[in-house]
Amino acid sequence: MLLALFAIVFGLALLVWSADKFVEGSAITAGHFGMPPLLIGMVVVGFGTSAPEMVVSALAATQGNPGLALGNAYGSNITNIALILGITALISPIAVHSQVLRKELPLLALITLLTFWLLWDRMLSFANALVLIVVFAGLIAWSVYQGMKQKTDTMATEVEAELDRQAMPIKKAVFWLILGLALLIVSSRILVWGAVDLATAFGVSDLIIGLTIVAVGTSLPELASSVIAARKGEHDLALGNILGSNLFNTLAVVGIAGLISPMAVAPEVLSRDLAVMTALTLSLFVIGYGFRGTGRINRVEGGILLACFIGYTTYLVTTTF
């Protein structure tokens, strides 16, 4: 059991570090070959920051651990809203602009309801997974199209400035891209092995391990970037980071796992985990709506979100043991 715990801690640390190097190498390589900054920001960086969840869930599906694959994706979404937004708001209250309430949040809510409908028969079939991937590809294409229509784009400007700051020779960038990808796979294998072994040692399902330890660990990059963005006053970036990550997890991470290995969905995933994820998503409408001006997720509301995460995790642990 100690070896499994060490594998989880070491695997998570290596996973987060290798994902960062993979994103850095990929972005600079893409820029060198002429990819527009907006595409780099939305596709390369977007995929890279969710690479830990994607690779872990894909490997778990390949090895016949559907609980770990789904638990990692949906547990990460719950962690993103309740834990990460909660901590971020406690550090620095987050302003919620009307565009988020009009576009991003309704979109995430609709995707969550689509997931409920697709999984209602307790099966993530190949066809269901394909629907998730097609919807994800359509969203990416539409977002890129909208971004290209604008004369100035904030994300493109930020990515361009970051690429200039991280300027490095193309050979070094390709080296970090390849090494980062290789270590992503290796660290994910170590993490999945440790998680499955720990679940076996405690006699619990791999779903519980995925919802707790693995989900929190793979969400660490989002925690770091959201806290930094909020402290700098970049509230759109802090909230957009979370909403984008949840969209990616719900569509791409679950979709890829389902394409690799269609799987049965445990009944508690629908009645407990997806229900909590949906409630948290809808709660952002309530706490983010500004009745007198711009909406804010203040420290009190951040504390409530954090309390929800603690309550949910406590419920998982107590009912499991």
Question: Which tens digit of pLDDT belongs to each residue from 234-285?
Answer: 666 677 778 888 888 999 999 999 999 999 999 999 999 999 999 999 888 7
d(CA 5, CA 41): 35
Answering whether pTM is above 0.85, one says no
At 63-87, the pLDDT tens digits run 888 888 899 999 999 999 999 999 9
The C-alpha atoms of residue 79 and residue 97 are separated, in whole angstroms, by 22
Domain edges within the chain? 2-320
User: How far, in whole angstroms, is CA 270 from its chain's centroid?
Assistant: 19
The CA-to-CA distance between both ends of the chain, in Å, stands at 17
Q: Strands 295-297 and 94-96: what pairing?
A: antiparallel
199 — pLDDT class (breaks 50, 70, 90)? confident
Judge contact between 122 and 270, C-beta under 8 A. yes
DSSP letters, 162-219, are HHHHT---HHHHHHHHHHHHHHHHHHHHHHHHHHHHHHHHHT--HHHHIIIIIHHHHT
2-320 has which CATH code? 1.20.1420.30
Q: How far apart are CA 20 and CA 26, in angstroms?
A: 10
Residues 6+ apart with CB under 8 A from 146: none
Express each pLDDT in 85-124 by its tens digit. Answer: 999 889 888 877 666 566 778 888 899 999 989 999 999 9
pLDDT value of residue 298: 85
Rounded CA-CA distance 137/178 in Å is 25
